[in-house]
Amino acid sequence: MSLFLKRLTAISFSCLLAWTGWSGSGTAAPSAEQPEPGTPKVEWSFDYGQAFRTAKGKAVTSAADGGYVAVGDVSTISNFFGYVIKVDEHGRTLWEKTLDVDGDPDIEDVSAQEIISVRDGGYLVSGSTMDRTERPATTLPYLAKLDDQGNVEWSRYYHLLDYTHFHAGSATETADGGFVVTGYSANSGFLAPVYLLKVDREGNEVWHKTWWIGDNQSFSEVLSTSDGGVLAVGGIDSTATSDSDASLVVKVDANGEVEWEKQQVFPGSGRSAWSAQMTPDGSFIISGMMYQDGKRVTFVFKMAGNGEILWEKTYPLAEGEHFFRQLVSAPDGYALLGSYTTGDYPDQQTQYQILRIDNDGEVTGHLRFASPGLDSVGKGMYTADGGFLMTGEVREKNSLPLMQLIKVAGEGQQPPADLQELRFDEPALELGVGERRPSVVQAVYADGTAAVITNQAVLTSLNPEIAAVDSDGFITGLAPGTTEIVAEYEGFSAKLPVTVTVTVTDPPSETPGRFYLDSEDYSLMTGSELDTLAFFTDKSGQASIVNGETRFTIADPEIAQVDERGYLIGLKPGLTSVTAVYREHTFTANVLVVKPYVPVPPGPVLDERPSAPKALEVPEVNEGPEVPPVVDTPDWDGPA
């Protein structure tokens, strides 16, 4: 789906573009009745990033040694950094790194959105950074290449087009060892282009391409193809009348030249493609989302290598908000990974969700599982043992966010009944006062197998004044002495002797004070960005900027968005409000979004864009019988 999802107000699906039968699909009616979701066995779940003010999980990939490497964002009191963490197959931390920009004080705040494993055994991290050379600040694509130990081999940021924000949210390795990245973009005219950026194996730019196809467009994912080119999927967001909302698929060659392009137009639907996988026969399976009768539904279609649509299935699920942002391959088909949300803010309940389908798009399984305090879901992966690993962001009891990794079995099941023993993986633990160490609880079964069930066990400290333990098994030394940590699960129990040494003073209690934003009324244009500052003044009058510890929400996400740093982005004209929460303090300010004060000229802004981009050239494709029409790409007329 494009960057900004639009809700339908009262549009009947019969008013949308009618779909007749496609070869292999019958009609575009919803798939067969969906099975009730099952609950998978949670093999382990841990939270990470406790050393930082905030930590958020965005994506994860596999490591050659059987472990996993995840990325996200962390923050301190004043800055944001990309965060990379390596864990073993049981979720235990092996190493962690932060990513930043060195050498330029005007380039700061790295956000890591995606990580992929690279053929040389290392990893590529893609995301964005902020150029604050001029106001307003501009978002730039950011890449970092890491070796297998997390050491940064190179990092780069890229200036692509003036007055436009570019985010790198998806990356793929190409046959020549380089990389192609893409993501969403935004500008003050709300008429941002799609883009692809190609770099070599050292991060040097080889080429970049931008295209205007409709009003506003974005790519969500890029995929390397067997012929050396890439496939990019996304959507067109028709900002003026919603008549041209469409999913978008573009195939380019190794030089970034367009080979073909496909749009599937559904007026007013917010339709967009989000993820893609290549099939063994050279076709593509593509997933996305759109609105039908005011409700967001997921679709999956199969596309031939020349862009011909072979079939499409939709998956209208039960009440609640279903958001599947990712399609992954599995041995028996594919899996859609995402979230399931019920209720309204601030009483929303979010769960992880997995929908399994076969090679023909028929549902074969539906999994849904909760995690206390889950706030948002990032990207996940199918694991070699047949399960799934998901990333997310958790907040418990209004605490600051932490990155979460949760590993589940691939099928709905309950723990085996033949449990024989519960044990800690270490016979004893010694730590200092103020030190925090993990513990691992294992369930041992009659067949000799063992499973990590730390987060499922009930954990208590026999003397909580000496050591405390949280629900993830992390033990904190509080005072010198000895105690025991008790784990209870399925009628079994185990004890871990704990010795705490070294005395430090207790941390000071929180100081009451006043929390506020730098304005009670904000105003910005559509497509522009405005930074907010959150302040906390203690009773002595000392003021501190606390953006890194503040949670920002927007009342109407159709009018504006706000990110975790407090940056506002105007989407369409209107009045809404932003609410900031810092510990127990809350502050709300008005947000007014207006149209640009002067029309955007058809050429470059102030004649600084080198030339008008070419429209995509669409060769003639045999569409097959009864396929929705391919919308011709309009000639470049400049923004309206």
Comparing 609 with 107, the larger pLDDT belongs to: 107
Q: What is the pLDDT of residue 417?
A: 54
Do the Cβ atoms of 68 and 389 come closer than 8 Å?
Answer: yes
Does residue 467 lie in a domain region? Answer: yes
> Average pLDDT in the 315-334 region?
90
Q: What gap in Å lies between CA 276 and CA 353, rounded to an integer?
A: 18
Q: What is the pLDDT of residues 166-185, one digit of tens each?
A: 999 999 999 888 999 999 88
Identify whether residues 428 and 497 lie together within a single domain: yes
Comparing 503 with 250, the larger pLDDT belongs to: 250
Furthest-apart CA pair in the chain: how many Å? 78
Q: What is the pLDDT of residue 23?
A: 32
Domain boundary among 458, 479, 501: 501
Identify whether residues 590 and 568 lie together within a single domain: yes
Region of residue 257 (phi > 0: left; psi between -120 and 50: alpha; otherwise: beta)? beta
> Average pLDDT in the 595-617 region?
44
Domain boundary among 470, 501, 532: 501
Does residue 601 lie in a domain region? Answer: no
SS3 15: helix
* Enclosing H/E stretch for 405: strand 402-412
We report the CATH number of the domain holding residue 448 as 2.60.40.1080
Q: What is the pLDDT of residue 57?
A: 94
Identify whether residues 481 and 523 lie together within a single domain: no
Does residue 66 lie in a domain region? Answer: no
Query: Which ranges in 114-268 belong to alpha helices (H)?
Result: none
Residue 495 has pLDDT above 90, yes or no: yes
Q: Render 218-251 in DSSP notation, one character per residue.
A: EEEEEEE-TTS-EEEEEEEE-TTTSTT-EEEEEE
Comparing 602 with 241, the larger pLDDT belongs to: 241
What integer best gives the mean pLDDT of the chain?
82
Does residue 460 lie in a domain region? Answer: yes
Tell me the two tokens of residue 409.
Answer: 């079995």
Name residue, tokens 């009348």. Answer: 241
Domain span at residue 590 reads 513-594
What is the total count of domains within the chain? 2
Tell me the two tokens of residue 214.
Answer: 């409709």
Tell me the two tokens of residue 469.
Answer: 């333990």
Identify whether residues 437 and 497 lie together within a single domain: yes
Domain boundary among 437, 472, 501: 501
Q: What is the pLDDT of residue 337?
A: 97
Does residue 559 lie in a domain region? Answer: yes
Q: Order of strands, edge to edge, in the sheet holding 309-315?
A: 272-278, 284-292, 295-303, 309-315
Does residue 526 lie in a domain region? Answer: yes
Q: What is the pLDDT of residue 637?
A: 40
Comparing 124 with 418, the larger pLDDT belongs to: 124
Least confident of 115-129, 239-253, 305-319: 239-253
Does residue 132 lie in a domain region? Answer: no
Task: Classify burial at 236, counting beta carbons within 10 Å of its beta carbon; exposed 0-12, middle 13-18, buried 19 or more.
Answer: buried
Residue 29 has pLDDT above 80, yes or no: no
Identify whether residues 476 and 521 lie together within a single domain: no
Do the Cβ atoms of 485 and 460 come closer than 8 Å?
Answer: yes
> Average pLDDT in the 344-373 region?
90
Residue 621 has pLDDT above 90, yes or no: no
Q: What gap in Å lies between CA 615 and CA 625, rounded to an integer?
A: 27
Q: What is the pLDDT of residue 190?
A: 66
Radius of gyration of the chain (CA): 25
Do the Cβ atoms of 434 and 504 come closer than 8 Å?
Answer: yes
Q: What is the pLDDT of residues 552-604, one digit of tens each?
A: 888 888 888 898 888 898 888 888 889 888 887 889 999 998 876 444 444 44
Tell me the two tokens of residue 260.
Answer: 């073909």
Tell me the two tokens of residue 603.
Answer: 């050429």
**Amino acid occupying residue 455:** N
In this prediction, residue 544 has a pLDDT band, given cuts at 50, 70 and 90, of: confident
Does residue 455 lie in a domain region? Answer: yes
SS3 97: strand
pTM of the model: 0.66
Name residue, tokens 């050279």. Answer: 282
Identify whether residues 492 and 522 lie together within a single domain: no
b/e burial code for range 615-640 (CB count within 10 A of at least 16 → b): bbebeeeebeeebbebbebeeeeebe
Q: What is the pLDDT of residues 282-322, one digit of tens each?
A: 899 999 999 888 888 999 999 999 999 999 999 988 888 89
